[in-house]
Structure 1
Amino acid sequence: MSSPPTVMSSARVVVVGAGLAGLAAASTLVQAGFNNVQVLEAMSKPGGRVNTTRPFGPDIIELGANWIHGQKGNPLFDLAKQHGLLSEGTSATAMCLPASVTPRDYFFNEGGRQLPPEDVERVCSLFSKLTSRAFDNKLEKRYHSESLGRYLDEAFAASPLASSVKDAAKIFEWCKRSECTDEASSSLYEVSALQISEYTALPGDFFNCLGPGGYQAVADVLLRSLPPGVLLCDRQVTRIQWGREGEAHPVRVLCAGGQEFKADHVIVTASLGFLKERASALFEPTLPDAKMRAIERLGFGTVDKIFLDFGERFWPEDCAGIQLVWEEGPEDQGVYRLMSEGDAWKATWYKKICGFDIVARHPTVLCGWITGREAQYMETLGEKEVGEVCVRLLRSFTGWQVPEPKQVLLSTWWSNPYVKGSYTFIPHGVSGVREHKALAAPLPPAATHTGAKPLQVLFAGEATHVKFYTTTHGAYITGIREAQRLIDLYVDL
């Protein structure tokens, strides 16, 4: 039975966070007829982990989210296509890939020798085949309880390439460092070999670069659907009190500075990194054990970008990226074990940089990728020191005349107190399905017999999606999912 508009429109909903999940939730509710929706964003601008900037001129640089992953069945791709936000042609797409091997990548070893492209291609193809087995859930049973790193080491050692291709082990280590970027992990020895099969890759080009407006243009589509006054920035939520019996509105959201908002429902879209730091103190009463356990057990890693604007191109026209192959890299099993305890790894943090890739629409800019604890440490050093280290690496590996950069720009997602990292991964020994579902579960559930108002606290964000964690479309879908819970609740009244 349809709900009268007045019932739906009188419900008060607070959305915590104005990333893609929060904006999708608010937009969906407003379009459904909810007239009392308030979005609270801790930072000074909306977007969350979307951070589109123009530091080197009129063209964009993405410090945060960079791609739409897949096309078929991807509502974010459909939204971007509908509003004309995708790049035209394939040239821009080819220049946006992070540390992904193309025939135009130059691989150099630590001694300054460029590695034969055919050797690199053979090893990288093997790595792709081995990781596909894990993603397709085709691993032998003995690897079900192992880390992704352990599985890859053993599978590589059993391959003829391990002994027939010079520098094969070193190239394979580079592949593992590159995969750390995809997994947002400090090491593949921390990632579950079995559980990565829960992630679902959508059909179509794996990476689709957005057009000249970048990801901010996508966020702007959602922002334009919100009435004036719905979004409030610089509102740091410090406490969410729920289950307040006897009150007209059982949820109270408190902000720094004393401002408070009374609501019937709150949709929390804060990052998993933020929840790891704040969840125990953020909610009153404390979240149930299953939800707190999910927050603790799921992994949330840091992936950072290092942009170097040289003002001139010093690399060959046919070079799409300069990749660094170490004699001993951080993803070598022995090195990982040696560095797994203590702070010795900080002295060689730069070894986690996979390489430096060309950047779409920026012919004189290179982008380096770094992940995990090394990325977190890099954020403490500052642009000048990081830039000096990167130039030293480029000079020593290539032997080219590398000028000093005109400008260095770093992403700092770990240092951001309202994000504390980049995206989710499934650690070794953790059931991703169970923990994602526990994190997504609303409080109280829709079918409650306690007399309490149902769905007082709901959770959205990429970490709450079983199949699409880590992705922007995962975040977007979960925002709509939680809004739809509320729509269904009021329609059923």
Structure 2
Amino acid sequence: MSPPSGVKVVVIGAGLAGLSAASTLVKAGFQHIQILEAMGRPGGRVHTTRPFGQDIIELGANWIHGQEGNPLFLLAQEQDLLLKENSSAKTMCLPGSITSKDYFFEESGRQLTMDEVEKVCTLFSKLTSKAFDSELQPKHSTQSLGGYLDEEFSQSPLALSVAGQRLFEWCKRSECTDEASSSLYEVSAVQLGHYVALEGGFFNSLGPGGYQALADTLLDSVPPGALLCDRPVDSIHWALDEEIHTHPVSVQCQGGQSFKADHVIVSVPLGFLKVKAAAMFEPALPTSKTSAIRNLGFGIVDKIYLRFENRFWPDDCAGIQLLWDAGPEDEKVYKQSQSDNGAWRDTWYKKICGFDTVARHPNVLCGWITGREAEHMESLDEKIVGEVCVRLLRSFTGWSVPEPAQVLMSKWGSEPFVRGSYTYPPPGVDAVREHTALAAPLPQPCDARYSQAKPLQVLFAGEATHINFYTTTHGAYMTGIREAQRLINLYADRINVKVKM
């Protein structure tokens, strides 16, 4: 049976979470769905562009994280959106998954042998796997991921060599890209065990439409006019007196436009909630939610694309990785650097792990940078960033590196409606409790003030609300379906009650 025809649902945010929620509700028979997107385009942290010609560049989401049990992979497969041919290019070098096509250089210009690289990267992969597989010893339960890795690596013979130390620091910087953190000292070691990695690895296997094709597939399921872009939401008033108001929720947008609803699904990024949540909800969010918003980490991952007129790197090179001379950084040194009056800004570029080749773009390299250094980079002119990157490539490799024809940077930290990239669990935080609290709908059953109010007035979706699949696109997608299913079940139960009566 279909839900009552007068039920109005407003979805805030047109990322994968919001679009999957709207699509699921429409397919279930909900007739009044309105999607409000603050930016001028749908997709959220999916941002597929074509700045260098017909082929895509992903400024946002890049991979399908695993295949087995991944609903986004299955959707892409069903819709024929996967890449038809294999590509030798890659868009990031992951610790433990490096190939013989990765060139590792020290500051002196020495290129490391693959034997040197593989030994350290393999050890790093084994150590991080223990954290993700919940195999850490009790003594590591309160440690940061960086602290745990430092302690374990120091016991290895590989730590005795300078090259080994430099490679290990490269692995840590690269892992920051996975965690969206300034440092692994900001990430809990033991809490990573709640993350579930789906079988199949990281795949940049989407076809010519990129990630946007997946978002468009979901958008095709909703009626024309259901999506309104350039509609930033100022406030959400819920638990309105139903004797006075036809609907218990009112959404106010910048510019004065308002929308009445029975239910609102909030699918905005955690970074946005960190900045706006305190003033956005009336009544205010319960303490459990404000604590979750405050306690969960939300970091920045940015990309730097360099397009050259001609390829200058060898044909068998898929990545140019940079190893700095500076010795190992421990947790104490990192924390001191946080209060050094910003001296790290002068060396922000040292956070760039390297430059990788890009699928379908033979003359393009992509650099990755995270955390506070990424935030600082966003304040710089693209020309300056390009000059710094070229200087790094020249000094490390000794090759003749031309000036780039184009430089393109993502700026997720300064995007006002996102404020970062994705979620991570900081040390000392009960991530399961916080993800669960963030996902809980309002009004909460335990709150006696709203015991007579309509249930499920404000629901929450997005990767930060998933216990096991935070950081991922499939996590975001699944949470949208989860919240839509709450509403489907609500009205199915009510219909069943009426039928029995």
Aligned pair 1:154/2:151, yes or no?
A: yes
Q: CA RMSD in A?
A: 1.4
| Partner SS for 2:401 | coil
Partner of 2:56: 60
Change (3 A) 1:11 1:446: farther
Partner of 2:497: none
For 2:328 and 2:232, how far apart are their aligned partners in 1?
A: 38
| Partner SS for 2:365 | strand
Structure 1 residue 339, shift from structure 2 partner: 1.4
Partner of 1:85: 81
CA contact (8 A) 1:274 1:417 kept: yes
Partner of 1:106: 103
Equivalent AA in structure 2 for residue 464 of structure 1: T
Deviations along 1:205-259, one digit per CA (max 9) or x if unpaired, are: 3324211110011011011111111000110100000010232200000001110
For 1:47 and 1:330, how far apart are their aligned partners in 2?
A: 39
For 1:96 and 1:88, how far apart are their aligned partners in 2?
A: 18
CA contact (8 A) 2:250 2:261 kept: yes
For 1:407 and 1:99, how far apart are their aligned partners in 2?
A: 26
From 202, 207, 217, the counterpart of 1:206: 202
Partner of 2:419: 420
| Partner SS for 2:306 | strand
Partner of 1:487: 488
From 8, 11, 14, the counterpart of 1:12: 8
Partner of 1:256: 254
For 1:459 and 1:270, how far apart are their aligned partners in 2?
A: 8
Deviations along 1:373-412, one digit per CA (max 9) or x if unpaired, are: 0000000002011001000000000010000000000000
CA contact (8 A) 1:21 1:475 kept: yes
Change (3 A) 1:301 1:446: same
Equivalent AA in structure 1 for residue 308 of structure 2: F
CA contact (8 A) 1:308 1:407 kept: yes
Matches within 5 A, 1:288-299: 288-299=286-297
Equivalent AA in structure 1 for residue 400 of structure 2: Q
Equivalent AA in structure 2 for residue 63 of structure 1: L
Partner of 2:309: 311
For 1:329 and 1:218, how far apart are their aligned partners in 2?
A: 43
Between the aligned residues of both structures, percent identity stands at 67
Equivalent AA in structure 2 for residue 95 of structure 1: K
Partner of 1:437: 436
CA contact (8 A) 1:99 1:323 kept: no
For 2:388 and 2:487, how far apart are their aligned partners in 1?
A: 51
Structure 1 residue 444, shift from structure 2 partner: 1.4
Equivalent AA in structure 1 for residue 474 of structure 2: H
How many matched pairs? 487
Matches within 5 A, 1:73-472: 73-91=69-87, 95-100=90-95, 101-163=98-160, 165-245=161-241, 246=243, 247-328=245-326, 331-333=329-331, 335-341=333-339, 342-445=341-444, 450-472=451-473
Deviations along 1:147-206, one digit per CA (max 9) or x if unpaired, are: 00000001000012212x451011000000000000000000110000011100001233
CA contact (8 A) 1:66 1:209 kept: no
Change (3 A) 1:337 1:262: closer
Structure 1 residue 23, shift from structure 2 partner: 0.3
Structure 1 residue 8, shift from structure 2 partner: 3.0
Structure 1 residue 311, shift from structure 2 partner: 1.4
CA contact (8 A) 2:147 2:330 kept: no
CA contact (8 A) 2:56 2:210 kept: yes
Change (3 A) 1:97 1:89: farther
Worse-matched range after superposition: 268-277 or 243-252: 243-252
| Partner SS for 1:381 | coil
For 2:445 and 2:24, how far apart are their aligned partners in 1?
A: 19
Equivalent AA in structure 2 for residue 462 of structure 1: E
TM-score by length of 2: 0.95
Partner of 2:25: 29
Structure 1 residue 340, shift from structure 2 partner: 2.3
| Partner SS for 1:492 | helix
Partner of 2:37: 41
CA contact (8 A) 2:12 2:266 kept: yes
Worse-matched range after superposition: 477-486 or 115-124: 115-124
For 2:324 and 2:187, how far apart are their aligned partners in 1?
A: 22
CA contact (8 A) 2:165 2:328 kept: no
For 1:315 and 1:288, how far apart are their aligned partners in 2?
A: 55
Q: Any gaps of 5 or more consecutive residues in structure 1? A: none
For 2:328 and 2:255, how far apart are their aligned partners in 1?
A: 45
For 2:53 and 2:64, how far apart are their aligned partners in 1?
A: 24
Equivalent AA in structure 2 for residue 158 of structure 1: Q
Change (3 A) 1:251 1:222: same
Change (3 A) 1:208 1:367: closer
CA contact (8 A) 2:266 2:460 kept: yes
For 1:407 and 1:55, how far apart are their aligned partners in 2?
A: 9
CA contact (8 A) 1:68 1:77 kept: yes
TM-score by length of 1: 0.96
CA contact (8 A) 1:330 1:351 kept: no
Q: Any gaps of 5 or more consecutive residues in structure 2? A: 495-501
For 2:411 and 2:153, how far apart are their aligned partners in 1?
A: 34
CA contact (8 A) 1:329 1:351 kept: no
Structure 1 residue 88, shift from structure 2 partner: 2.5
Structure 1 residue 118, shift from structure 2 partner: 0.7
Deviations along 1:16-63, one digit per CA (max 9) or x if unpaired, are: 000000000000000000001100000111000010000011100000
For 1:447 and 1:435, how far apart are their aligned partners in 2?
A: 17
CA contact (8 A) 2:166 2:328 kept: no
Structure 1 residue 333, shift from structure 2 partner: 4.6
For 1:287 and 1:426, how far apart are their aligned partners in 2?
A: 21
Equivalent AA in structure 1 for residue 191 of structure 2: Q
| Partner SS for 1:240 | strand
For 1:151 and 1:411, how far apart are their aligned partners in 2?
A: 31
For 1:41 and 1:118, how far apart are their aligned partners in 2?
A: 49
